Structure 1
């Protein structure tokens, strides 16, 4: 009877230890994910001069991305301009639900800079994603978000 009780106790101990290990691993993974992804707030000037580095978000295509958050209101018209002499830029605007609202690879001037125009359909927090095309890499860039006003 005692050996049966000891066997049951060992099974419970092994199961409890396994569940504790799973919980610690899941918590550490969750904390690690939250620590890794942290979009930067876009300054109040809606303009930033910054650099993409190999410490930014890997795109899975050899390049990197950096995200900026900005609060936008329904009905606003935007121009988002991204310029870099170091890499072929792509600009993406992600909506409050994470879906792509607009994206541009090359601007109308034939350069590898990016320029997009869009109208905001929902008030909320948006992500402006700066990324390099393919394996074009890292380096300095200038990002500017302009709220366009109707001509009177």
Structure 2
């Protein structure tokens, strides 16, 4: 099972986990990202080019499927204007054993945080806006997977 979705609407974490659990493996790992409200943030606006984004996310999911013995993977990333508390990303992986599920999930979210082709603009309560840059520690984690 492979699911890649780039969408504006919310997603159902329980349904995603149930789909992965139904594959009969011994482990399911997941990560759900939530928009934070730090520093007066009132919204995070994500832009992307649909064909490019879908192709790049699909490529990295294929890499995870080739690297680990997975039964299934689900990656959902939202775009548009999201307020604090909104779900922004879901990554889930199912495998016969926990290590593959955990490692592949970490690999996928590290890549999404540093290299996925989304442009993020932060909107603040005082009216200011700022483009969000990838954090150095996120880039370092993603690069660490290249060495393996």
Q: Same fold (TM over 0.5)?
A: no
TM-score by length of 2: 0.30
Structure with greater strand percent = 1
Structure with greater helix percent = 2
